[in-house]
Structure 1
Amino acid sequence: MTQMVGKKVGEGGCSEVFQWGGNQQIVKVAKGNTNVDAVKREFSNNMLVWENGLPAARPYELLEVDGRPSIVMERIHGESLMEHFFRYLMQPPSEKSQYGDSSEFLKITARLLNETHRFGNLPLPSQREMMIYSIRSAGYLTASEKERVIRHLEQLPIKKQVCHGDPNPGNIMIRENKALFIDWMNASIGNPEADLAEYVIMIRYAILPPHAPSSAVSNFDSLRAHIIQIFCDEYRRLSGNSLDEVENWIMPVAARKLCADAISEEEKMLLLAEIRSRL
């Protein structure tokens, strides 16, 4: 299979991404921290949501590349929301008006999540079971703390809507002014509030990479509350739902994130402090 692999075009916490064949497909090649069962789950999830018309790239094939589980996908020619977001952070405050006073691109995640959450009862994994497994597998918390978080989670209402599970800007691609999600590995049936809490936690506590200019870090720190407000207002406007329940999901979602490979130790310490303050 290696003869089909082209140049590297991206990388995430769980995979490396290469051109595949021509220019219309890519192959996601799992890293050592991602086993074949996880890749099979991502492929199955992605195929299911794509076939049901959710905003997703088309998956083609599950295979191995140099002994590593891999997925051949439709290549999205465009840019990620992360790229757009960093460009926004690099602009001096006086020039941010070029993005529009309403910061339209900051509303994209809310719109995609609202579109995703309109679907229900697809045969995806249980969000609650996945969260409990992750919480029990994570380090940092004591066994007693984990059980207290799980008891809190089990008292929350049960819903059955499609959730993405990882709505960060790096998982959103913009193609011809249309946005779609990539990386459906953590997709599930459950409560939309978990997705919303995931986004709020990310904006509230994300640590920008070390190579990020100090001006971008400073801009991001000053805009965190503003970004969350725009996101929540747009989701509330589109869904017509109150977001009162989101706060109840912050602690279990933060606990689940403690086992994520893609976030820094510094960020995990912030999440740990948040969890313990709520316990």
Structure 2
Amino acid sequence: MSLLAQGRTAEIYAHEETDKIIKLFRSGFPEEAIRQEFAVSQQVCGLGVDAPRLFHRVLTDQRHGIVYERIEGSTMLRHLTGKPWLVWKLSRTMAELHARLHRIELSDAKGYAWRRLAQELEHQIAAAPLLGEDEKSAVIEALKRLPDGHRLCHGDFHPDNVVLGKKNWVIDWMTGTRGNPAGDAARTLVLLRCAVLPEEMPIVKKCIVQAMRHLIAKVYFTRYSQLSGLSSNQIEAWVLPVAAARLNEWIPQGEKLRLLDVVREKLGKPKRA
């Protein structure tokens, strides 16, 4: 199979049928999470969202995978690194796509119950290895004071999960939930501010993204707030639980330390020395 792209959790390969691709998850990646991606993706396609259609699950070389529709285009991240002068336009486009998703109201479909954003965050926070029990309790209490919601939330919306082409696609729906859009937007801000870039990205492109990341976050945040009607305070209130929950994910240690600083700053505690 021909490798087309790769990330921390999976690799994308060409399929023998040219209109399809195979997403193969890395060895050791939880099978439950793969089942969740398949189920959420089915539901999302049924909502009319511009997301790749999926066909079936596979097991290849002892690795689990999903066969998806092959879509045309390049990720927004690739556009940003190749044409950095388009940063304002692309950041606004990202905000517009996200706000459009958040207009979709969800109810439990027959045979499928949407996971709740707040509940998923609470589970992740409770399992976060770098937080003390007192810190976990404080973050969960803050989370419980935030308003719930019933809108479609992507859970990992960032420039590498948006594909631009003849139409714009939103991919990787493993973390899709029902909840408050402010929490989903906060997740995007945390990623834009703190995420460590992929190891395979060339150093020059990494430097470009590092130089632009704060501008991307600012333009995205401003445009998203205009379209959603959510204030900066409403979105920033979710940064604490979102950052704490991400500590329990498959991410580099360096990113976890950045997130730990964010959490402790929000809790009024001193950062790491």
Same fold (TM over 0.5): yes
Deviation at 1:247, TM superposition (A): 0.9
Judged with a 3 Å threshold, the aligned counterparts in structure 2 of structure 1 residues 219 and 16 are, in CA distance, closer, same or farther, namely: closer
Match of 2:227 among 229, 238, 243: 238
Q: What are structure 1's unaligned runs of at least 5 residues?
A: 1-5, 90-95
1: CA distance between counterparts of 2:252 and 2:177? 25
Match of 2:94 in 1: 109
Residue in structure 2 matching 1:248, options 234, 237, 241 = 237
**Residue 35 of structure 1 contacts residue 69 of structure 1 at CA under 8 Å; is this kept in 2?**
no
Query: What aligned pairs does 1:221-236 form with structure 2 within 5 A after superposition?
Result: 221-236=210-225
Aligned: 1:83 with 2:73: no
**Aligned match of 1:167:** 157
Contact between 1:163 and 1:192, CA under 8 Å: does it hold in 2? yes
Letter of the 2:259 counterpart? L
Query: Paired residue for 1:93?
Result: none
Show the counterpart of 2:11.
16
- Return the offset for 1:38: 1.2
2:143 pairs, out of 149, 153, 171, with 153
2:132 corresponds to which residue?
Answer: 142
Alpha-carbon separation, structure 2, partners of 1:112 and 1:22 = 30
AA aligned to 1:254 is A
The match for 1:51 among 38, 46, 56 is: 46
Q: Normalising by structure 1, report the TM-score.
A: 0.87
Which is worse superposed, 55-64 or 41-50? 55-64
Residue of structure 1 in register with 2:66 after alignment: 71
CA deviation after TM superposition for structure 1 residue 217, in Å: 5.0
Structure 1 residue 119 corresponds to structure 2 residue 90: no
Would you say the 8 A contact 1:24–1:74 is kept in 2? yes
The equivalent of 2:168 in structure 1 is 179
Equivalenced residue count is 262
- Secondary structure in structure 1 of the residue aligned to 2:131: coil
Question: What does the per-residue CA deviation read over 1:83-108, in whole Å, with 9 as the maximum and x for residues that have no partner?
Answer: 1122234xxxxxx3xx3xx8211222
Kept in 1, the 8 Å contact 2:81–2:209? The answer is no
> Which letter maps to 1:45?
V
1:37 shift after superposition: 1.6
Q: Which residue of 2 aligns with 1:92?
A: none
Cα contact 1:62–1:69 (8 A) shared by 2: yes
Contact 1:10/1:16, CA 8 A, preserved across alignment: yes
Residues 146/56 of structure 1: CA separation in 2 closer, same or farther (3 Å cut):
same
- Of stretches 194-203 and 183-192 in structure 1, the one that deviates more from structure 2 is 194-203
TM-score by length of 2: 0.89
- Partner SS, residue 32 of structure 1: coil
Q: Do the aligned partners of residues 147 and 17 (structure 1) sit closer, same or farther apart at CA in structure 2, a change above 3 Å counting? A: same
SS in 1 for 2:188: helix
Shift in Å, 1:220? 3.9
2:256 counterpart residue number: 268
1:37-91 superposed Cα distances (whole Å, 9 cap, x missing partner)? 21111011001011110121111112322332211100112111111122234xx
Root-mean-square deviation (CA, aligned residues, Å) is 2.0
* CA distance 1:215–1:64, change in 2 (3 Å): closer
In structure 2, the residue matched to 1:32 is 27
Deviations 1:147-199 (A, max 9, x none): 211111011111111100001211111121x2111110000001111221111
2: CA distance between counterparts of 1:258 and 1:199? 15
Distance in 2 of aligned mates of 1:217 and 1:13 = 16
User: For residues 219 and 66 of structure 1, what CA distance do their matches in structure 2 show?
Assistant: 37
How far apart are the structure 2 equivalents of 1:216 and 1:21?
A: 32
Question: Which one-letter code corresponds to 1:131 in the other structure?
Answer: L
CA offsets 1:84-134 (integer angstroms, 9 cap, x no match)? 122234xxxxxx3xx3xx821122221121111111224321111111111
Identity of aligned residues (%): 29
